[in-house]
Structure 1
Amino acid sequence: MASPTTDEKDDFLLSCRYGDLDDVKQFVAQFGTAAAAEATDDNGNTALHMLCGNGHADLLDFLLPLVPASLLAAQNISQSTPLHWAALNSHLEIVKKLVQFPGGPGGDLIDIKNAAGRSPLGEAELAGWDDGAQWLVQMMKLEPGGDGKETEGDVEAEDTDVASTGGIEIHIEDADGQMAKMRIGDP
């Protein structure tokens, strides 16, 4: 299989950015899945960064099963992952597909911080995207008895009886250092 030129890789990434599924399929057919997985721009953005940041679920459905699961956690020059971009741009369907992808990093994606020190949850909060932030919190791996150190995006479970309260209350420190309370599992 032939290797793509720099221009062909750039065109492929633009196709991912603008949601051109036919061009993406043509690139994969011509150059293979490895070339699709390895393509990056000058800022280290992958095909997943481009399509996740722009909400192209059809492209994600096509590419995700073809590329290595490690690409879900790929960080660009700013250490942002495709999930950071999806959260920043309020694409809930994309966020769900990334976190719930079988064989992928799952909830661990939510803990990855970019160069600004923000997790995808922190990006969602900074963007004022409450629905996405709530969904991400529900998908986080809450571990009782942590080390006591809190950083942006950390979640702390309250000592409550889930059966008697109908859920658990968590406290989240947002990007500005403010504490927010959220209840998960209310009837």
Structure 2
Amino acid sequence: MAPKLTEDEIDDLIYFARAGEKEDLVETLKSLAERENVTPAEVVAAAQDNAKSTCLHMATGNGHLEVVRELVQYFESRPKEEKQAFLDEGNEHGNTGLHWAALGGHLDTIKFLMDQGASPALANEQNYVPLDLAYFNNHNEIAKYFLKVAESLETTNEESGLSAAVESVEIEDGDEKTEEKKDDKETV
């Protein structure tokens, strides 16, 4: 059964994640989990604000990597599908934690989320993926990272659908434009 959290309790959890107050977040999660006789993961999953934003959104959007690590570790012993749902949870606009990290320019957080299995291909209500948000906000290093990941996925999966997209994207470096190109490879 889902824990019953008050609006103030949810606000506290969201605030602690947004502010990077890991100790207060951990203590509050532990207390609420004990009171509700559930796991901290269940409390984290239930804590959403009115816009369906979660503690993960708040921590990723503000680059609080240690808080993000703490939140994700609560799902390590949960079923794989539950962890994936947590990582890819969209708010009311369809933005995931990965979208927020890309928008905020937090590369270390993005790399951690990707290592944990967050999907870079989920589009929000405006049909933007995290790469788009990084690019539109001049987070060029992050945009290049996402393009490199896309190229790597294509090579690993022996598919060629992404190469045209990767070849056509230009990332500005200062006053110059550099084009991200992939060597022509024979497809199987």
| TM-score normalised by length of structure 2 | 0.75
- Which residue matches 1:181? 179
**2:123 pairs with 1:93:** no
Distance 1:55 1:23 in 2: 17
- Which residue matches 2:72? 64
Equivalent of 1:113 in 123, 144, 169: 123
Per-residue CA distance 1:69-118 (angstroms, 9 max, x = gap): 221100001101000000001000100010111xx34xxx1111111111
Query: 1:54 Cα shift?
Result: 0.3
Distance 1:13 1:54 in 2: 12
Distance 1:89 1:183 in 2: 26
- Distance change in 2, residues 1:43/1:173 (3 Å): farther
**2:168 pairs with 1:171:** yes
Structure 1 gap segments, 5+ residues each: 147-154, 159-168, 175-179
Give, as a single letter, the amino acid of the residue that structure 1 aligns with 2:9. Answer: E
Distance 1:100 1:92 in 2: 12
Structure 1 runs of 4+ aligned residues shifted over 4 Å read none
Per-residue CA distance 1:14-68 (angstroms, 9 max, x = gap): 1101111111111221123111122100101011000000000110111111034
SS in 2 for 1:55: coil
- Which residue matches 1:163? none
- Which residue matches 1:37? 45
**2:7 pairs with 1:10:** no
Query: 1:13 Cα shift?
Result: 0.5
Contact 1:49 1:82 in 2 (8 A): yes
| TM-score normalised by length of structure 1 | 0.76
- Which residue matches 2:89? 74
Distance 2:182 2:61 in 1: 27
Same amino acid, percent of matched pairs = 28
Contact 2:32 2:43 in 1 (8 A): yes
Contact 2:88 2:96 in 1 (8 A): yes
Contact 2:5 2:47 in 1 (8 A): no
Contact 1:3 1:31 in 2 (8 A): no
Give, as a single letter, the amino acid of the residue that structure 1 aligns with 2:136. Answer: L
Query: 1:184 Cα shift?
Result: 6.0
Corresponding residue pairs, total: 158
Judging by fraction of residues, say which structure has more helix.
2
- Distance change in 2, residues 1:157/1:116 (3 Å): closer
Structure 2 gap segments, 5+ residues each: 34-39, 76-81, 172-177, 184-188
- Which residue matches 1:166? none
